[in-house]
Amino acid sequence: MSNRFYGIALSCIMAAGGYLYTQADRAINYTTIPARVVSLKDKCQLVRKEGAMTHRIFTEDMSCDVDFASLQEDHAGRGFELTRQTELSLTYMSPVDGLQHTAAYTLDDDSHDYATDEVVEARVSKTSAEEVIGVAKAKAQEAGS
């Protein structure tokens, strides 16, 4: 067998191992608990891809109310795409210390329908009181919708 075959096989084994480690880490070190959405904050950036690789250039956070069409006409705005992120501020009782904590979680698009004071399911760390790795609609709310 060729070295190329062994290289591909080793890469596949390493990728599978990394995936299994991540899944085991999430199952052991994180749990899902109810959390309340305290606030929502929209953040927008201009993003441009450069070169054959997907190297991205970002601008500073800006208001999402910006007139993107006028930015495109400006020489500095050409080639950029407007991307929107939403930062959820959550409060929850931490499984680490049993106290109420506040943490932020960023959604990478604006296709959500979260609202202030809504109860959601947050995936939080069992070892770090303010670490949130995921947010989903609460199952009871989805059934009632």
CA distance 134 to 26: 11
pLDDT of residue 82: 74
- The whole-number pLDDT of residue 67 equals 66
Task: Give the predicted TM-score (pTM) of the model.
Answer: 0.67
Q: Please, which residues have CB within 8 angstroms of residue 108's CB and are 6 or more apart in sequence?
A: 85
Q: Is the dihedral of CA 16, 17, 22, 27 positive or negative?
A: positive
User: What parts of the chain have a pLDDT lower than 50?
Assistant: 142-145
Please spell the DSSP secondary structure of 89-109, one letter per residue: EEEEE-TTTSSEEEEEEEESS
Q: What is the pLDDT of residue 143?
A: 47
The helix/strand/coil state of 26 is helix
Q: Give percent helix, percent strand, percent coil of the chain, each to the nearest 5.
A: 30, 40, 30
